[in-house]
Amino acid sequence: MNSKTAFNYFRANAKSISQSISVKEKDYFLHVQDLYGVGVSEELALAAFISLCSGALERPLQEQTAVLGNMTIGGSVGVLENLAGLLQVCLDAGAKRVLIPIASAGKIATVPPDLFSKFQISFYEDPIDAVYKSMALI
């Protein structure tokens, strides 16, 4: 997992999330556990960033929300591959609300309508937008 990417982006952008976040006066610890024993994905930077923000704000994500995507150190969010497969995993895990990168909007046509209709879909532009929407800060 690229937690270093997540923490560096968090440190550089914390004040864009909330003026109350202090990266100098608090320590942050992020623990990732492979519950199924299949190996931890290298593409967890966005999840780690959202987790750091959630901890710093002492605010959980909205219930039954899944955030799809990954990010680079500069905050770029790429296009998702196999959106239908990812949404099936979300459905199987009990998600009702799914945040998708706006860069992947063109992939919606590849998702069977009966699967797509199972979710409340929202799009996000960048990692900060994903934080706001996943925690209903806006």
Q: Are 104 and 70 in contact (CB under 8 A)?
A: no
pLDDT of residue 42: 67
Report all structural domains of the chain as residue ranges with CATH numbers, in order of start: 3-134 (3.30.230.10)
Query: Model confidence over 123-137: pLDDT tens digits?
Result: 999 999 999 999 998
Q: What distance in Å separates the CA atoms of residue 85 and residue 137, rounded to the nearest whole number?
A: 29
Closest CA to 86 of 103, 106, 62, 110: 110
Q: Which pTM does this prediction carry?
A: 0.89
Side-chain-facing half-sphere of 4: CA atoms under 13 Å = 0
Q: What percent of the chain has pLDDT over 90?
A: 75
Residue 114 has pLDDT above 80, yes or no: yes
For 21, 43, 56, the CA distances from 25, given in Å and listed in that order, are 9, 28, 11
3-class DSSP assignment, residue 86: helix
List own/partner pairs for 71-75 with CB under 8 A and 24 or more apart. 71/5, 71/6, 71/9, 71/45, 71/46, 71/126, 71/127, 72/5, 72/45, 73/5, 73/8, 73/9, 75/9, 75/13, 75/126, 75/127, 75/128
Bridge-partner residues for 97, per DSSP? 65, 120
Mean pLDDT, the chain, integer: 91
Query: Model confidence over 56-92: pLDDT tens digits?
Result: 999 999 999 999 999 998 999 989 999 999 999 999 9
